[in-house]
Chain A
C-alpha cells in the first residue's frame, strides 16, 4: 500500500511447440507485463518469423473487424467476456468460412436496409431543397429548360457561399440563399444563359450540388413534394418489415457471433504477443515483469503446460537505477478512488512512496475544513452516493469520483458540526469548536499550522525517498532534503517565537541552524556533485555560479513562505463559506421579507449554488494544495505503466 507492488523481471525460454500454450497461460493469468524482446537475439532459423506472426495477427484483426461489422449491422453488442478457460484459439482457416457465411447471410439484408436508408436521406434532401420554393406555381422542368436564363437550384456548403460570390464578380448573376441548415445551404443561382459556362464552372468548383430529380418527379414543387412524401411512407414501411427479419436474425446469431468474436480476439492477442517475443535458434525468448506476489503461481502454471520451459527471474531492489520497472499500484478498495487523483499528477516511480494513502487522508480533511456545513455536505454525500450506486447509466464511469465525494462530504459534515453550520444557518446548531466568521484569526492561524504539519510530513517523505534512492546529494543538501527541512523548521520556529512569544528553543540556535542550512541549500548543487564524485564541482565560472545560487536561494525562501501561506486558503474558504451563506439569506430577505415563496426560492437556489459552485472551487483548491504544496516536497512521478497481457480485452483495437 505504501509502495508500488514489488516486481520481478522474468525471462522465459520456450520451445516452439509450447509457445502457444505458454503465451495463453501468460495472457490468462493477467499479471504478465510484456517487454518487447524482438531486439534481443536474431538467430532465427527454424522458427516461424516475426513476419509470420505479424501476418497472423493482422489476419485475426481483419476477421475481428469483419465480425464486428456484422455485429454492428445486426445491432449485437459484445456482451460480457466469457471465462478465459472457456476460450480457445481458433485457426484462421477454420474461422474464415464461418465469418463469410455470416457476412453472406447478413450482407444482403444490411445492404438492403442501408440502401433504403440512403433513399430516405435522398428524398429528405429533395424535400429540403423543394420546400423553400413550394409555393412557386411553375413546373420544375420549366426551370431546367429556360431559354434566356441560367438557373440552378441546389445545395452547397455555407462556407463556400462568399467565395462563389467572389468568383462570379465579373459577370451579372443572382445567388439566392433559400435556406441554411447547419453547414449546408439551399441556393438558387441565376444568370444569363450566355454565361452558362462560367456559371456552371463556378457552381461546380464551389461544390454546389444541383437538384437532380428523377424523371418520375414531375409537376410543380408542391406536387413533387406530395409524391415524395408518399414515397417516404412506402420506404419506411419496407424498412420496418426488413427490420423485423433482422431482429429474427439478431436473436438467432447473437451467441454465435459473440463466441466467434471472443475466440478471434483472444487469438489476435496471442499472436500479437508472440510477435514481440525474441527468437533463439529453436526456441522463443519471452521477457517481462510480474508482481512478485504472483510469481510463484505463474511459474507453477507455466511448468504445468511445458516441462521444457526455462525460467529466470530477477527481483531488482527499489533503489536500483533501473527505470524500466513497470509500476503496479495495489491499494485496497476505498483508496483506489483516490489513486486516480495521484495518477492525474503522475504515476509513482518504482522506488517512490505511493502517496495514495496520504491523499486519501489529507484531501477530505482539507476539503472538509473549507466546506464545513452539515446540510450542504449531506447533499454532497447523497450526490456522491448516487454516483457510487451506478444507477444513472450515463454517470456509471464516475463511481470513483462518487466515492471521493461521499468521503469528502462526510468529513465536511463533521466540520459542519464543529463550525455549527447547517445550510448556511449559523444559529441552529451549537458550534462544537468555533464559528469561522466569528473567529477569523484563530481559524487562519490553525490552518497555517495544519500546513506546517503537512509540509513537514512532505519533507520527511522526501527524505525517505532520497534515502531509498540512495541519492545522497538530494538527501543531505537539497531544498527538499535534510538541509531544506532544517531551514524550514528553523524559520517556522523563529516566526512562531516572534508571533506567539513562546521560547521553546533559544532564537540564536534557530538563527544559526537556519543560516547553516540556508548556505548548504544554496550550494546544494556543488555539494551534491562533490559527494557524488563528479568533477568539476562547479561547472563554468564561480562568479556565475554564486549569482545563480543566490537567486535560487531567494526562490527557495519565497517558495517556503508561499507554500506555507498557501494553506491560509483553507481557513479563508471556511470564512467565505459562512459569508456566502449570509449573502444568500440577505438576498432571500430582500426577495421576501415575510418569508413567503420568494424567500424560500432564493434560499433553495442559493444553497444549491453554494453546493455546486463552492463544492467545485473547494475541490480544486484542495487538489491544488495537494499537488503544488504537498506533492512537490517528495513526489516526482514518471513511473512506467504496468499493462498486463490479457486474453480477452473488453475494448477492441
Chain B
C-alpha cells in the first residue's frame, strides 16, 4: 500500500504542471485516478477535486482499519474519527451561517457509511441547538449538549469546537495508552507528536491571536503528549517567551525566534515545520522491525499529508499562484 503513494517523479510533474486542468489530467494517471474519473470533467471544480481525492484517504483508512489486529483497531478508528469531528465542526458552521446542503456537502470529508452524523438533516435545521439535538445517541451529544450552555450565552461556535477537540484528543490519548507496550511506544512517537503539534499550536494561537488568559489557555489545552509537557503549555499560558519554550522542546528546530516577530506568517511556518517532523517520523516507522502499529498509522498519516499537499497544489494551480509562493506550504516535499 505504501508503494501507491506518489513518487518524487510524479510530484515533480504535478508541481510543474501548467494549470489546474493539466494537474487533474496528471492526477488521473495516479492512484487518485478512479476517484477523479468518477465525476464528469465539467463538475471537477477545485473544491470537488479535493473532495474526490479525499475518497482515496477514506478507502485507505477503511482498508487499514480492517487489516490491523484487534488491539490496534480502536486507535486507527479514533484517528479516522478526526475527519468526523472536522465534518461536525463544518456542519455546525454551516448551520450557524445558514448555508445550504449544496454549499456544505463537498467541504465535508467523504466518510461514506463510516459516520454517525446526520449531516444533511443537521444543515436543514434552523438553529445550532436543534442540529445538536439530532446528535442524540452519538458520542458527540454529551459533549456538545453540555457546551451548548456557553454557545447560547456567547453565540459563538468557539466553545463547541474546543469541547469537541479536547474530547477527541483525550479519547485518542486513552486509545494510545490501551495499546500493548511495543505498539504504545510506536504510537506515542507518531500520534503523540501529532498531539504535541496541535496542543502547542493551540496554546500559542490562544495567546497570540485570541489573547486568552492563563487559566483559559490551560483549560483549552491538554496536559499530555510525546515531547510537549504540561509545564511547557503552562509556561506559554503564563506569558513566557514562546520562542524559548519551542526551542527547549525542539532543540533541532533552527531560527524559531524570527517566526514570532510576524506571527501571522510565522505561526503557519512553525506548524509546517512541525508537520515535516511528523513526516520524518512516519517515514522512519517503515525502517526496522515491521510488525507494529507504527506502520499502518504512519501510512494513513502520510496519505493525509499527501492529500494536504495536493490540496495546496490544486488551489494554487487553479488560482495561478506562482511556485515560489505555494511551495512554502507543501509538507511532503
Contact = CB atoms under 8 A, between A and B. Distances in A.
A50 interface: yes
B167 A202 contact: no
A170 B234 CA distance: 11
A166 B167 CA distance: 18
26 contacts: A36-B38, A39-B37, A42-B40, A58-B101, A61-B120, A62-B120, A159-B166, A159-B170, A160-B219, A162-B223, A163-B218, A163-B219, A164-B219, A166-B234, A167-B214, A167-B218, A170-B214, A182-B142, A184-B146, A201-B215, A205-B215, A205-B219, A206-B219, A207-B146, A207-B159, A209-B149
Where chain B touches its partner, the secondary structure class is helix
Nearest to A69: B121
Contacts of A250: none
Contacts of B213: 198, 201
A163 B220 CA distance: 9
B230 interface: yes
A172 to B, nearest CB: 14
A294 interface: no
A183 interface: yes
Interface string B189-232: 00000000000000000000000111110111011000000100
Closest 3 CB pairs between A and B?
A205-B219, A167-B215, A167-B218
Nearest to A51: B43
B21 to A, nearest CB: 16
Interface string A56-77: 0010011001000000000000
Contacts of A207: 146-147, 150, 159, 163
B223 A205 contact: no
B320 interface: no
A192 interface: no
Nearest to A197: B213
A168 B234 CA distance: 11
Contact of A202 (B40, B142, B146, B216): B216
Interface residues of A, number: 31
Where chain A touches its partner, the secondary structure class is helix
A198 B147 contact: no
Q: Which one of A159, A160, A166, A182 has the highest number of Cβ atoms from chain B below 10 Å of its Cβ?
A: A166
B143 interface: yes
Contacts of B222: 163
B230 A166 contact: yes
B150 to A, nearest CB: 7
Contact of B150 (A42, A159, A204): A204
Nearest to B206: A205
Nearest to B134: A69
A39 B40 contact: yes
Nearest to A154: B149
A449 interface: no
B37 A168 contact: no
Interface in A145-183: 155, 157, 159-160, 162-164, 166-168, 170, 182-183
A336 interface: no
A18 interface: no
B19 interface: no
A38 interface: yes
A462 B219 CA distance: 63
Nearest to A653: B120
B124 interface: yes
Contacts of B166: 159-160
B87 to A, nearest CB: 17
A129 B214 CA distance: 28
A209 B163 CA distance: 13
Given A39-B40, A198-B215, 13 more contacts: A58-B101, A62-B120, A62-B124, A160-B166, A166-B234, A170-B214, A202-B216, A205-B212, A205-B215, A206-B219, A207-B150, A207-B159, A209-B146
A198 B213 CA distance: 9
Contacts of A167: 214-216, 218-219
A237 B311 CA distance: 57
